[in-house]
């Protein structure tokens, strides 16, 4: 469905039951998805010690991998590992984590994932102060003339897409809005049509 309706990425939340309370799935499911879709797989590792899992998800077919700044003490090394394996590399920040933690790593990134809810559960409401983080990060990236995308995840809906784009996001992760609807394909088409008009990356 997501491929037919024009999704640009398939965002996969990997949770280990430690970094966040929930437990989802692992490399096997990613590998199975890789066999049935040409849409790039965007793997978001919400796990402790992500370094151990990066090679496994690369082997499974991940095209993009983001890891949490809060989950590793060797962020630069882990980002280099992702890039050396040929994947796009991102850093995710929890809502309460300031963007200044990215100061020395930003030039090594393909994207930053700003969590706009506390990670671990779907269906949460957007946290308003995260808008400010997105706009500050966009100003920072533009001021340094970097080619770094801003991805936002959590409480993103058709109704607040415009605000997110105005703040500076160019990749929107939308889950509950689509998959909790009786006609997810129709919702995705509606979102895709709007995103095209907003000139998202």
- Tokens matching residue 154: 């959590």
What value does the mean pLDDT of the chain take? 91
Query: Taking the model in full, what pTM does it have?
Result: 0.92
CB 170 within 8 A of CB 200: yes
Residue 13 has pLDDT above 90, yes or no: yes
pLDDT given for residue 2 in this prediction: 56
- In the chain, domain spans: 10-197
Q: Does residue 134 contact residue 169 with C-beta atoms inside 8 Å? A: yes
The residue written with tokens 């796009």 in the block is 88
CA 126/CA 148 separation, integer angstroms: 23
Tell me which fold the domain 10-197 belongs to.
TIM Barrel (3.20.20)
Nearest to 48 by CA among 93, 15, 83: 15
Q: What pLDDT, in 10s, does the model give residues 77-94?
A: 999 999 999 999 999 999
Catalytic residue (choose from 13, 16, 110, 167): 13
pLDDT digits (tens, 9 = 90+) for 137-155: 999 999 999 999 999 998 8
Q: Write out pLDDT tens, residues 64-74.
A: 999 999 999 99
Q: What is the mean pLDDT of residues 6-33?
A: 91
Q: What's the burial of 103, exposed, middle or buried (CB within 10 Å: 0-12/13-18/19+)?
A: exposed
13 is catalytic: yes
The candidate with the shortest Cα–Cα distance to 137, out of 168, 116, 161, 105, is 168
User: Is pLDDT at 41 greater than 80 in this prediction?
Assistant: yes
C-alpha distance from residue 65 to each of 17, 78, 165, 199 (Å): 19, 11, 22, 23
Considering 42, 78, 110, 153, which one is annotated as catalytic?
153
Report the C-alpha gap between 57 and 42 in whole angstroms: 10
Residue 116: pLDDT over 70: yes
């Amino acid at each position: 469905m997501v491929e037919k309706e024009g999704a640009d990425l398939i965002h996969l939340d990997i949770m280990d039951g430690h970094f966040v309370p929930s437990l989802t799935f692992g490399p096997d499911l990613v590998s199975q998805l890789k066999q049935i879709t040409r849409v790039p797989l965007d793997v978001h590792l919400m796990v402790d010690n992500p370094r151990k899992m990066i090679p496994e998800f690369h082997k499974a077919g991940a095209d993009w991998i983001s890891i949490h700044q809060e989950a590793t003490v060797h962020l630069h090394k882990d980002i280099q590992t992702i890039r050396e394996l040929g994947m796009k590399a991102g850093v995710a920040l929890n809502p309460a984590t300031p963007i200044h933690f990215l100061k020395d790593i930003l030039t090594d990134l393909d994207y930053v994932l700003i969590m706009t809810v506390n990670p671990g559960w779907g269906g949460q409401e957007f946290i308003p102060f995260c808008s400010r983080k997105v706009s500050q990060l966009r100003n920072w990236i533009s001021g340094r003339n970097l080619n770094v995308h801003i991805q936002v995840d959590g409480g993103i809906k058709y109704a607040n897409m415009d605000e997110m784009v105005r703040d500076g996001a160019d990749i929107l992760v939308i889950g509950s809005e689509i998959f909790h609807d009786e006609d997810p394909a129709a919702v995705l088409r509606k979102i895709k049509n709007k995103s095209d008009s907003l000139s998202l990356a």
